[in-house]
Amino acid sequence: MLKFKTYLFSLISLFFLVSCTSCSHIPIKDQYKLGNLINIDSMVKVESIYIIEHCIGESCNTYKMMSTSSGSTVAKSEGGKYILTTGHTCNPAFGVPQNLTNVKVTQHTFVIDSDGARHATVTVDFDQSQDVCILHSKTLAAPLLPIAWDDEPDVGDKVYNFAASLGVYGEKTIPVLEGRYSGKYWGMSLYTIPTIGGSSGSPIFDVHGRLVGMIHSVHSRYHHLSFGPRHNDLMKYIKMSTSYNVPRGIRTEWTDMPEKKSKKIYLDEVGLKKYLDKIKTLECDCSGPECLTKCIDVK
């Protein structure tokens, strides 16, 4: 009789425990469906095309190069969407081949959406000290990401990363990675997210699917140590750079030739129209697996 009572008590206890597993607001099998939290359509691949004029004496040659990075839609204007990416993605000086001098670089930046459509952008502005940039596209129709404006992650918090690593990005397809927020180091946010060329500008999300950070660099000796702007700095920059009025943007040019001095030049309405008309005719000549490298010559 005692054995029967013990068995009955154990059976009732087991039933109670099993029943409580369904008490969670989110079923366990659904907790790992990131697609329910994070909309892949909000991610873009960024293509930076550099028109490089290289001069030796009076002789000058022009050729093109391209790099790819990642981005995400973070705000809207009255006539388009704003895209968050890294500062070096928007900086034409980044397109200068190593050790090459006497050059002038003009940059044009496009974004590819999750359906494979290509959209021209204007660089609203970039901040080299934080390595952040905001682009604007009039034709991109991607949904906006939810943003954790006031909720900075704590050390040890799990985070997710959607990145066009090595340029790998296709229709409704993007590498999805994860890691942990690990605090602040060298004045930056530190994450344990695997990172490689092409991951620059990729968004970082908390477990609720909200934007909490962005990757801009990786430790040269250990690619699982990645860095990004500090949370508060990033949130402030996004707010300051995404006005509802359509931005005019800046002209993205760089040169080390004294007679062609470069500086940030904010476009007026006429300059903006000329810029947009010009990039409509600019096509990327690169296709195939060779495009997956960080920076390639497509002349």
What pLDDT is attached to residue 156?
A: 98
- Per mean pLDDT, which range of 56-60, 111-115, 254-258, 285-289 is the poorest? 285-289
pLDDT over 50 at 22, yes or no:
no
Residue whose C-alpha is closest to residue 226's, from 234, 235, 217? 217
* Angle, alpha carbons 138-69-209 (nearest 5°): 80
Contact 98, 229 (CB under 8 A): no
The per-residue pLDDT of the chain, averaged, comes to 84
Amino acid at 2: L
Torsions phi, psi of 244, nearest 5? -70, -30
Q: Return the HEC string of 4-40.
A: HHHHHHHHHHHHHHHHHCCCCCCCHHHCCCHHHCCCH
Side-chain-side CA neighbours of 88 within 13 Å: the count stands at: 19
In the three-class reduction of DSSP (H, G, I as helix; E, B as strand; rest coil), residue 233 is classed as: helix
Residues contacting residue 37 through CB under 8 Å, at least 6 positions apart: 205, 208, 209
Is residue 299 over pLDDT 90?
no
Confidence class of residue 258 from pLDDT cuts 50, 70 and 90? Answer: confident
pLDDT digits (tens, 9 = 90+) for 78-89: 999 999 999 999
> Which fold, 40-284+291-297?
Thrombin, subunit H (2.40.10)
* 195 within 8 A of 132, measured Cβ to Cβ: no
16: which residues sit within 8 A by CB, 6+ positions away?
none
* Residues 212-219, mean pLDDT to the nearest whole number: 97
Which helix (H) or strand (E) segment is 126 a member of? strand 122-127
β-strand partners of 30: none
The label of the residue with tokens 């250990």 reads 222
- Asked if 136 and 77 count as a contact pair (C-beta separation under 8 A), the reply is yes
List the chain domain ranges: 40-284+291-297
Beta strands in 165-219 (DSSP E): 176-185, 188-191, 203-205, 211-214, 217-219
Minimum mean pLDDT range among 22-26, 41-45, 85-89, 202-206: 22-26
Top pLDDT among 294 and 140 is at 140
More confident residue, 19 or 72: 72
Tokens of 240: 């300051």
Write out pLDDT tens, residues 170-190. 999 999 999 999 999 999 999
Across residues 113-141, what is the average pLDDT?
Answer: 96
Which one, of 160, 166, 171, 216, lies nearest residue 193 by Cα?
A: 160
Residues 145-162: tens digit of each pLDDT: 999 999 999 999 999 999
Give the amino acid at 209.
G
Q: Return the CA Rg of the chain.
A: 23
How many residues would you count in the chain?
A: 299
